[in-house]
Chains A and B, each alone.
Chain A
Amino acid sequence: MHPFTYTRVDDVEAASAAVTTDAVSRAVQGPDDTVFIAGGTTQLDLMRDGVWSPGTLVDVSRLPLADVELDEDTLVVGAAVTMADLARHEAVADLDVLRDSLLLAASPQLRSMATVGGNVLQRTRCRYFRDPEVTQCNKRRPGSGCAAIEGTARTHAVLGVDAGCIAVHASDLAVALVTLDARVRLHGPDGGRTIPVADLHVRADVDPARDNVLAAGELVTHLEIPVPDARTGYLKVRDRASYEFALTSAAVVARVEDGILAHVAVGLGGVGSVPWRATRAEEVLRGQRASLALFEQAAAAELADAFTVPGTDFKPELARRTLVRQLRDVTEVTA
């Protein structure tokens, strides 16, 4: 770990003012960068691994951003709320997709440290990105290539990727959020803005060296999560029963009226370079009569153009099955 300076700020204005580079949006941070730290569960790992070496850490964990409020049909969640606190909040007790995306993630210890703001900004688990010894990595060294495509890639992405980078965005929460049409409130040196979570991240096939669209000094202050009038659910598939990232996952929000999918939203995890909103599947599903055959068709459409390498060639099939299963379970369709 490289030496760094640590400071703490007490208000949002000071936080934004302290960060003058766009390092938070970049895949790597260097000694000239000042960046935020909250729970630290991603930041410190990357610093210990020598991938990130920011010169200054600005601690935002004690900013007054730790409240959860229900504003009409929208949950407003402070960015410094921990995963554990949100998961056990009464406001999410019936919002299965959100609650389960939190409870099925990480471990109790990590969920008690990690904040929801940091969670959506977490970085890929790609072991080629996370080992500075690896010279081929278009995230760390643009133009150098991607070691993962011919390497150990079982946990890598097949959507929103190409041969330049197959890093997965591993957040479960963010998959639930994009499926719920959640928005993220940002505060920057020039004031605030609110954008959909679906527009927060940058796809690897667009620019692997950039992870999100945050401008210099922009801080995530809140998540706005509309509570849908629908049944929801989150299914996570992984080797280990707990404390592991998804091989595949599916977030489903659906309301069936007279057998017709009146409202449907679908997200996929473990397969995308960004939290994946399955819009192609939704196009197949929307307004149609719910059936297992339709679900198969929708899942196939979503994965039709998946980019696979030898390590990930099983993932489109597993993702299809995961999505069909979760559509079935949320809609309770039996045939």
Chain B
Amino acid sequence: MTTTTNAPAGTATPVLGAGVTRVDGPLKVTGAVPYADDLAPRDALVGVLVGSTIAAGQISLVDASDALAAPGVVAVISHHDAPSVVRPNEASADERAPRPPFQDATVRFHGDHVAMVVAQTREEAVHAATLLHVSYDVSEPVVDLNDPRATREDDDPAGADSTRGDLERGLAEADVVVAADYVTGDNTNNPIGLFAACAEWDGESLHMWATTQWPSNTADCLAEAWGVPREDVRVECPYLGGGFGSGLRPWPYIHAAAIAAKVVGRPVRVVLSRPQMFTDVGHRPETVQHVRLGARRDGTLTAVEHTATIPVAVDDDNPENVVSGTRQGYAVEHLRADVDQVRLHISPPGSMRAPGEAQGNFALETALDELAVELDIDPVRLRLHNDATTNPDQDDLPWSSKALDQCLRRGAELIGWDDRDPAPRSMRDGDQLIGYGVAAVSFFYFQQPCTVRVVVRRDGTAAVHCAAMDIGTGTYTVVTQVAAERLGLGLGDVEVVLGDSSLPPSPPAGGSGLATAISNAVALAVTAVLDDLDLSGAPGRDALSRAVGARDEVAAEATAEPPDPAEMGMSPSGAFGAKFARVRVDADLGLVRVERLVSVIDCGQVLNERTARSQVIGGAVGGIGHALLEHTVTDLHAGPQTGRITNAHMADYLIAVNADVPDLEVEFVGGPDRLNPVGVKGVGEVGLCGVAAAIGNAVFHATGRRVRRLPITPDLLL
């Protein structure tokens, strides 16, 4: 458990929206932040996971004799000797959690866990792992999305499929139809902080320090796995070194630490290696998509068809909705959206910043650009013309807030859209072709209940307790702000305690949903505690202190529940955004460099302009990587396929570096959302979406070449 008390105390002033600095900033920049692994008992043994070298088959033999004889080795654990644990379900979703390791002899993907070496030191464990001899009965794996042998799940496991109107009729009404296939490559989240877990058993009670974006769910799943009461499991993770979705699920390495600690009867730490970060904690699955758009000559969309094929692991659930943005993005009467999953012997895909939407947006917004060219209509005007003022995907209910039109207009203004020559390959500076591109984003809405406890102490200061995680996005800071404002306290008078499953339960730090959930829960809990104290308004420290009187403290809990849209008579909005890119493409060498990237975002009430802006900037950097660089490559070379990833290193898996990123321009438009009292919409993922399509469309404008594949690399432009 960690507290943040370093922000200045002082007179209460309105702080919402203000760009106050992060309350945990000094801890971060001085290296004092306790990450999960820093809290692990120092006498913990070290476990190193051993991955399979095949993609499918059965383990026939684990010969541990040499490994056990190596210096420092305490145990080697495999399916032969691991205790049985139940495969849990994700706490709040209708899906199976990842399979705990060492439960059977089956290998389901390259890198699947076959054993674990536990030793006194990491060096000893790593070395002994190389001495382990594992034999397999190898099966023929299916690792290619286009392999006809793969099992196709077409019964809508992602909950993505939708039909409205009559697609054929819509196409018949069209003057122009464009249709194309789009491919996006597999990406890996690659937070810089390597994921870690340490388990310590005290009888039947389990204490874990583990990298997670969702302590509540991790604890729920561990309790279910071991059949122990939930209150006997505690998961702590006050800070992590980046997540981007890879910390949302209770991955096998977390179970492995618990299993090993049980076997050896001592605390055991597991820290993943960088290559293991490619196979152990999810990845953004590749997609093959087809988009067909029909429109009248004036630009009115008459039909939209968007289908996608994405891989899923052979024994896992990953409801990744590639078409959510298409379903709600534009006012079109006739639509068919369909996602099929194909089962492959690959490591389980999972959420990576803007799961589904990142890939689907690229296809839809590229197709719209192609339609604009075909119709000879300005791409910004085409989007404005088809702007959905009600949600076509939810009974045409009015949005709880939507300012996409403002996003598009303001973005066009900022980048100088109307000053460009719209003809493809018309703008040039020496060897460099210059191009402008736009994409719009209609991000999905995601909310789950969140419970918060607010404590007012005798001295009038307050504390906020919640199991939620701050994944570096500013949760500590905005919770401090919301509580301080509503209690009439200075920021330094509010202590925020997060990242501990023993605190009131929270939703994940994911789906761009936490800021909304937790800020509204804080607002409700403050109201509750003020009621208990017979106070109202924002009373301030003196009034709070007087009301607490002789008691040590007064506390209240409250839960923010997602409202019922029908009852509210409106459709809950996620964030909206418009992205504008100006690129330079070397006419001979095909090198694409992003020169300007403008993001205009409608995220409702901005809780903190500084951290919100950072979120959008970070998303934009991820978007540049998605567009031009990032690609996890599975070895498809002939002969026995292994499903091995060929670039599972930071030198070979290219994320954007500073030199790839121009000054990023960010503006916020719109106002508070009507659905929740604080007026917030999440901003965690909208920053990434649309960047790839805006860059791709700019590459088309620069070169006249349409690249329907990510990443867009020089060899595709020669």
| Interface check B5, CB cutoff 8 A | no
| Interface check A243, CB cutoff 8 A | yes
Query: Cβ of B642: which chain A residues have Cβ within 8 Å of it?
Result: 133
Stretch at the interface among B229-237, B632-640, B680-688: B632-640
What CA separation (Å) do A317 and B714 show in the bound complex?
11
- Min distance, Cβ A282 to any Cβ of chain B, angstroms: 22
- Min distance, Cβ A228 to any Cβ of chain B, angstroms: 26
The answer on a CB contact under 8 Å between A241 and B660 is yes
| Interface check A142, CB cutoff 8 A | no
The answer on a CB contact under 8 Å between A237 and B658 is no
| Interface check A322, CB cutoff 8 A | yes
The answer on a CB contact under 8 Å between A325 and B589 is yes
The answer on a CB contact under 8 Å between B644 and A131 is yes
The answer on a CB contact under 8 Å between A151 and B588 is no
The answer on a CB contact under 8 Å between A322 and B718 is no
* Tally of contacts, chain A with chain B, CB under 8 A: 83
Query: Cβ of B660: which chain A residues have Cβ within 8 Å of it?
Result: 240-242
Nearest-CB residue, chain B, relative to A127? B646
The answer on a CB contact under 8 Å between B715 and A154 is yes
| Interface check A31, CB cutoff 8 A | no
| Interface check A88, CB cutoff 8 A | no
- Min distance, Cβ B39 to any Cβ of chain A, angstroms: 27
Q: A152-B635, A152-B647, A240-B656 are in contact. Are A247 and B714 (CB under 8 A)?
A: yes
Stretch at the interface among B123-131, B157-165, B534-542: B123-131
Scan residues 611-640 of chain B and give those whose CB is less than 8 A from a CB of chain A: 628-629, 633, 635-639
The answer on a CB contact under 8 Å between A241 and B593 is yes
The answer on a CB contact under 8 Å between B714 and A318 is yes
Query: Cβ of B651: which chain A residues have Cβ within 8 Å of it?
Result: 125, 243
Q: A239-B654, A240-B654, A240-B660 are in contact. Are A318 and B647 (CB under 8 A)?
A: no
| Interface check B659, CB cutoff 8 A | yes
Nearest-CB residue, chain A, relative to B129? A50
Scan residues 244-281 of chain A and give those whose CB is less than 8 A from a CB of chain B: 244, 247
The answer on a CB contact under 8 Å between B658 and A242 is yes
Q: A151-B646, A152-B633, A321-B589 are in contact. Are A125 and B652 (CB under 8 A)?
A: yes
The answer on a CB contact under 8 Å between A243 and B652 is no
- B105-119 CB mask vs A (1 if < 8 Å, else 0) is 000000000000000
Scan residues 489-535 of chain B and give those whose CB is less than 8 A from a CB of chain A: none
- B651-667 CB mask vs A (1 if < 8 Å, else 0) is 11010111110000000
The answer on a CB contact under 8 Å between A240 and B53 is no
Choose one: A3, A150, A314; the contact of B637 (CB below 8 Å). Answer: A150
Query: Cβ of A204: which chain B residues have Cβ within 8 Å of it?
Result: none
Choose one: A1, A125, A243, A325; the contact of B588 (CB below 8 Å). Answer: A325
| Interface check A2, CB cutoff 8 A | yes
The answer on a CB contact under 8 Å between A318 and B652 is no
| Interface check B590, CB cutoff 8 A | yes
The answer on a CB contact under 8 Å between B629 and A240 is yes
Q: Which of A131, A136, A150, A325 has the largest number of chain B CB atoms within 10 A?
A: A131
Query: Cβ of B590: which chain A residues have Cβ within 8 Å of it?
Result: 318
- Min distance, Cβ A246 to any Cβ of chain B, angstroms: 11
- Count residues of chain B with CB under 8 A from any CB of chain A: 37
Q: A50-B130, A150-B638, A151-B636 are in contact. Are A133 and B644 (CB under 8 A)?
A: yes
| Interface check B713, CB cutoff 8 A | yes
| Interface check B591, CB cutoff 8 A | yes
What CA separation (Å) do A2 and B130 show in the bound complex?
8
| Interface check A105, CB cutoff 8 A | no
| Interface check A216, CB cutoff 8 A | no
The answer on a CB contact under 8 Å between B127 and A314 is no
Scan residues 312-331 of chain A and give those whose CB is less than 8 A from a CB of chain B: 314, 317-318, 321-322, 324-325
Scan residues 107-160 of chain A and give those whose CB is less than 8 A from a CB of chain B: 125, 127-128, 131, 133-134, 136, 147-148, 150-152, 154
- B570-605 CB mask vs A (1 if < 8 Å, else 0) is 000000000000000000111101000000000000
What CA separation (Å) do A321 and B713 show in the bound complex?
16
What CA separation (Å) do A243 and B636 show in the bound complex?
26
- Min distance, Cβ A163 to any Cβ of chain B, angstroms: 13
What CA separation (Å) do A122 and B654 show in the bound complex?
21
Query: Cβ of A321: which chain B residues have Cβ within 8 Å of it?
Result: 588-589, 718
Nearest-CB residue, chain A, relative to B54? A133
What CA separation (Å) do A316 and B126 show in the bound complex?
41
- Min distance, Cβ A232 to any Cβ of chain B, angstroms: 20
Query: Cβ of A127: which chain B residues have Cβ within 8 Å of it?
Result: 646-647, 649, 652
What CA separation (Å) do A276 and B655 show in the bound complex?
29
The answer on a CB contact under 8 Å between B657 and A240 is yes
What CA separation (Å) do A201 and B589 show in the bound complex?
29
The answer on a CB contact under 8 Å between B123 and A242 is no
- B317-350 CB mask vs A (1 if < 8 Å, else 0) is 0000000000000000000000000000000000
- Min distance, Cβ B649 to any Cβ of chain A, angstroms: 8
What CA separation (Å) do A84 and B588 show in the bound complex?
31
Query: Cβ of A241: which chain B residues have Cβ within 8 Å of it?
Result: 593, 657, 659-660
Task: Jot down 18 A-B pairs with beta carbons below 8 A, ordered by A.
Answer: A127-B649, A127-B652, A136-B639, A151-B646, A152-B647, A154-B715, A237-B589, A239-B629, A240-B656, A240-B657, A240-B660, A242-B659, A247-B714, A317-B718, A318-B714, A318-B715, A321-B588, A321-B589
Given A241-B660, A242-B660, A321-B588, 6 more pairs with CB closer than 8 A: A2-B127, A127-B646, A133-B644, A237-B589, A317-B718, A325-B588
